[in-house]
């Protein structure tokens, strides 16, 4: 994964996002209980993310599902939280949403643009012939939301 001049990368942001989701899940479990279906859905998606080295489109699909699951879990926990836990849950959710926004922007503005440009160049002559000889192909895009 490409790192920018500030040391940031999409994969690094995915790690931040999933770490924040895990922390938010633990906080929500204190309010909802560990067996709550919202919490177990988030846990299952985090496990799916960690267990498999997956292609960009599949990564994006898991993250999109995680976004929806985290939102549902947060909404359920927020409704039941006491003042003691509400601040922590709100803070973790704000961090999650911030990282989510950064990822969406980075994917849309930088990765997708660069990947589409590469794919256009790689599909033209003579790059398509050279690519076939060397076994190089198109770059997979993250799926649009």
Gap between the Cα atoms of 110 and 57, Å rounded:
16
- The Cα–Cα gap between 15 and 21 comes to 10
* 145: nearest Cα among 30, 59, 34, 41: 59
What tokens appear for 143 in the block? 């799926």
pTM over 0.85: no
> Is 135 in a helix, a strand, or coil?
coil
Tens-place pLDDT, residues 53-65: 677 777 778 889 9
For 4-24, b/e burial (b = at least 16 CB within 10 A) is eeeeeebeebbebbbebbbeb
Domain edges within the chain: 10-106
Residue 64 near residue 145, CB atoms below 8 Å: yes
Total residues found in the chain within this entry: 145
Can you give the pLDDT at residue 57?
74
- Helix intervals (H) in 5-144: 10-32, 37-51, 56-80, 83-106, 112-123, 127-134
pLDDT in tens, 104-126: 777 777 666 666 666 666 667 76
Instruction: Output the six-digit token pair for 40.
Output: 């177990």
pLDDT for 116:
63
């Amino acid at each position: 994964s490409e790192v920018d001049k500030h040391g940031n990368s999409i994969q690094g942001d995915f790690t931040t996002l999933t770490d924040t989701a895990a922390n938010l899940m633990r906080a929500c479990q204190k309010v909802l209980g560990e067996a709550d279906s919202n919490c177990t859905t988030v846990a299952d998606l985090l496990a799916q993310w960690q267990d498999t080295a997956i292609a960009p489109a599949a990564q994006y699909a898991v993250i999109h599902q995680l976004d929806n699951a985290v939102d549902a879990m947060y909404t359920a926990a927020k409704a039941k939280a006491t003042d003691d836990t509400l601040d922590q849950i709100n803070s973790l959710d704000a961090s999650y949403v911030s990282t989510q926004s950064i990822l969406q922007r980075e994917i849309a503005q930088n990765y997708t643009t660069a990947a589409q440009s590469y794919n256009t160049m790689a599909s033209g002559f003579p790059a398509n012939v050279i690519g076939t000889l060397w076994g190089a192909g198109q770059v997979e895009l993250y799926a649009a939301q």
